[in-house]
Amino acid sequence: MTSRAQDVAIYLSHHFHHAWEGFGFFDLQRLMYLAQGWHLAGGRGVLFSDSIGAHKAAPLTYSVKGLLPMEEMLPEPDLTAEDEEFLDSFCITYGVADRAAVRRQVDREDGAWRLAQLTGGEGATIPPQLMEATFRLMLLDHMDAGQKLRKSQMIAQKQRFEGGNVVAFRAR
């Protein structure tokens, strides 16, 4: 069973209304796109069944119109336990990011939104299979970057140790 896009939007609005100053409609739409993509890439299937279109400014879930993060006016979202757990983790991950970092991740030229727009034109529906594939590639990119960072950190640490302990790291 999938959750409704409106419930996902309410959940994200509740969280990011506090995390980002001036949280707005396109911020919400980008986060919905990312949540759907990561849910698919994780092998969980679609988070919500509503389609996401390749609008020129951002990927848009057309069924979510004008939802603003006004907590006192919005109902509590009705999500499955699994979806709420996923969204908790998603909000922790993206809650430390800023608006510009999220936009850069969404605006990737090799991402599903841009590819759907390129092949299908303005407003084309982004196929879930394309989202899953491009987000899995993004995951591989993150892993590769993380491995390179860890390797450079290990080299730097070894160099510090070599400099501080001449005897233990002396070449034979």
Structure tokens at 103: 């936009």
Residue 167 has pLDDT above 60, yes or no: no
Separation of alpha carbons 99 and 81, rounded Å: 27
Contacts (Cβ under 8 Å, ≥6 apart) of 91: 12, 15, 16, 19
In the predicted model, what is the mean pLDDT of residues 4-18? Answer: 89
In the predicted model, what is the mean pLDDT of residues 77-97? Answer: 91
Residue 113 has pLDDT above 80, yes or no: yes
Structure tokens at 65: 């119109």
User: Which pLDDT belongs to residue 39?
Assistant: 96
Strands (E), the chain: 52-54, 59-61
In the predicted model, what is the mean pLDDT of residues 96-108? Answer: 91
Residue spans per domain, the chain:
5-144
Question: Closest Cα partner for 52 from 140, 142, 135?
Answer: 135
In this prediction the pTM is 0.78
CB burial readout 20-48, b (16+ within 10 A) else e: beebebbbbbbbbbbbbbbbbbeeeebbb
